[in-house]
Amino acid sequence: MPWGNAWPVSSRSKLVSNGSLLLVALSLTCACTRAPVGEPTCGGLRASCLGTDVDEGRAPSATGRHKYYLAACTVFRDEDRFLREWLAFHLCVGFEHFFLYADRPFDDCYSEILQPYVDAGVATVTSAVPVRNPQIPTYDVCLEDHRHDARWLAFIDIDEFLHPANDSVILRDVLQDFHEFGGVVVPWTLMGSSHHTSAPPGLVIENYLHKRSLPECNGDTCAYKVLVQGQHTERCDVHNHYYYDGYFAVNEAGRRLHDDASLLPMESFPGDFPNEILRLYHFKTKSLADTLWKLGRKEGVNAEGNENLNPSTLQGQLTWFVNSDYNEVFDDSLLQYIPCVRRS
């Protein structure tokens, strides 16, 4: 049965209201955290999508006075089963190091999964700032501690996959053209559930192959992330950041869109946020089961009593899923990375 925006709006509303989707959801809530039969687990959770270990011979490239050219600052919470794929993918596209911050984890499975990456020198793992909404304060810690360790820092999440549009290059090749700016804006491309109600075995990038027809920033409320040069960035927000005098973020065409300290714009216009060079695929829902798992544990930056963003009831969570699930266009462009991901 198809879900999400494959349905007309009226039909999708009826699905939630008449209980059809509710029955499916109730059948999944007890099972959505379990690993597929035969797959290694840690504490009962699906621990990995990959069967290979990180290459412990990998060495980060030197970049003058920076230890790394490109690194990620990432806060994660109980996303153990996605960590290895996400790390492998971003190693394939040119990331050299990951500063990872665990936010109030359910258990310590993540440390077992990440230890090979720590041993290989490609990850640094510590705890997030111990507050209810840790994302911004933890980003500030990462910026303060590592602004001079990497030339470029990407503040992205485990459900976001950043990559060059041209698969024949890596991110370093693209970022060379933006050294004069504080940051580069990359709009979200929202990926849908591909009609999965339960979590399928395998990789995220091979299972979720449908997306919204336009990037998030096209005549709508705008969502994006920014790659920043830490030495030119004063402090953080979630989607944009505050830059030192004389620096600002631009779109990939090199056009300045906001004041230095502006944050998320209320609207955008076609052409403001192109993604012909850099792309950020946001796997916002994954399967229905994954959505229920995420929303049941989500206490992120917008968690304070906002039922639209972080619904607390099952009915609210189902409505959130239906309204967030875009399956308008088939897109298998990330499949080309699967051999590299499995090797990494």
Q: Is 135 helix (H, G, I), strand (E, B) or coil?
A: helix
Task: Tell me whether residue 11 is exposed, middle or buried, using C-beta atoms within 10 angstroms of its C-beta: 0 to 12, 13 to 18, 19 or more.
Answer: exposed
Dist CA 54 CA 120 (whole Å): 8
Q: Which amino acid is at 37?
A: V
Each residue's pLDDT tens digit, 179-224:
999 999 998 899 999 999 999 999 999 999 999 987 666 545 567 8
Q: Which residue stretches of the chain have pLDDT < 70?
A: 1-64, 215-222, 257-270, 298-305
Dist CA 162 CA 156 (whole Å): 8
Task: Tell me whether residue 69 is exposed, middle or buried, using C-beta atoms within 10 angstroms of its C-beta: 0 to 12, 13 to 18, 19 or more.
Answer: buried
CATH number for the domain whose boundaries are 39-289+328-343? 3.90.550
* Predicted pLDDT of residue 33: 38
Dist CA 197 CA 28 (whole Å): 8
Domain map of the chain by residue range?
A: 39-289+328-343
Dist CA 11 CA 17 (whole Å): 10
pTM, entire model: 0.82
Each residue's pLDDT tens digit, 4-60:
343 333 334 434 444 445 444 444 443 333 333 333 344 333 333 333 344 433 333
Block residue for tokens 């502006």 = 262
What does the DSSP assignment read for 33-65? TBPPTTS-EETTEE--S-SS---TT--PPPBTT
* Predicted pLDDT of residue 288: 97
